[in-house]
Amino acid sequence: MTTIGIIGAGHIGSQLARAFTGVGYDVVIANSRGPETLQGLVDEVGPKLRAATAQEAAEAADIAVVTVPLKAIGAIPVEPLAGKIVLDTNNYYFERDGHIEALDRGETTTSQLLQDHLPTSKVVKAFNNILSAQITTDGSPAGTPNRRALGTASDFPEAIEAMTRLYDELGFDTVNAGPLSESWRLERDRPGYGQRQTAAEMRANLARASRLP
């Protein structure tokens, strides 16, 4: 069975641990405070979830998830994620992360910043445009009318393929925004962000998004 390593155990990371174990994956999760602080989550979720350090989660992962504040991505282990698909859930909140000029000017994206930090990994945008609680409540079987869609973007076709499969397993359709350079279309303050949308609605919203105010 594929092991998913989650680095970051906040609202999104914890919900993804519940969701992925719920469809049969083994999950290793880490936070910045140490695995002992995650015992309550492990007890809740059960034996398919194990707490570890970030290094250990990265090493164990067949597929990894980075779900930490943008200002913390410099601490993500690089070598153990080489060659692996890495899901990036980040959004840029200057109130939390401080102003990053390249993002403010529209010269790069949060996912490109993570790809720069992980140059031999295959970064793919994921789960950034859904409220954490909805990850385990809004999914529905394939073919359900008005099934909710979630967005993704990557420079690697195999990462898009993997993300499409993961979304479907959790009950969501996929809308591909294109390469990481286009992943801003999925982010905060754009029409494709946050709200419940079908695939057709999301495609229309991504097309009408503006990069800068």
The Cα–Cα gap between 147 and 170 comes to 12
Please state the pTM of the whole predicted model: 0.97
First to last CA, the chain: 45
| pLDDT tens-digit series, residues 93-139 | 999 999 999 999 999 999 999 999 999 999 999 999 999 999 999 99
Q: Are 183 and 153 in contact (CB under 8 A)?
A: yes
Range 59-73 average pLDDT: 97
Q: Judging by DSSP bridges, how do beta strands 149-154 and 122-125 pair with one another? A: antiparallel
- φ, ψ of residue 191 in degrees (nearest 5): -65, -15
pLDDT band for position 212 (cuts 50, 70, 90): confident
* Per-residue pLDDT at 213 exceeds 80: no
Domain spans in the chain, listed from the N-terminal domain onward? 3-207
The third-level CATH classification (topology) of the domain covering 3-207 is: Rossmann fold (3.40.50)
H helical segments located in 30-74: 39-45, 54-60
* Per-residue pLDDT at 192 exceeds 90: no
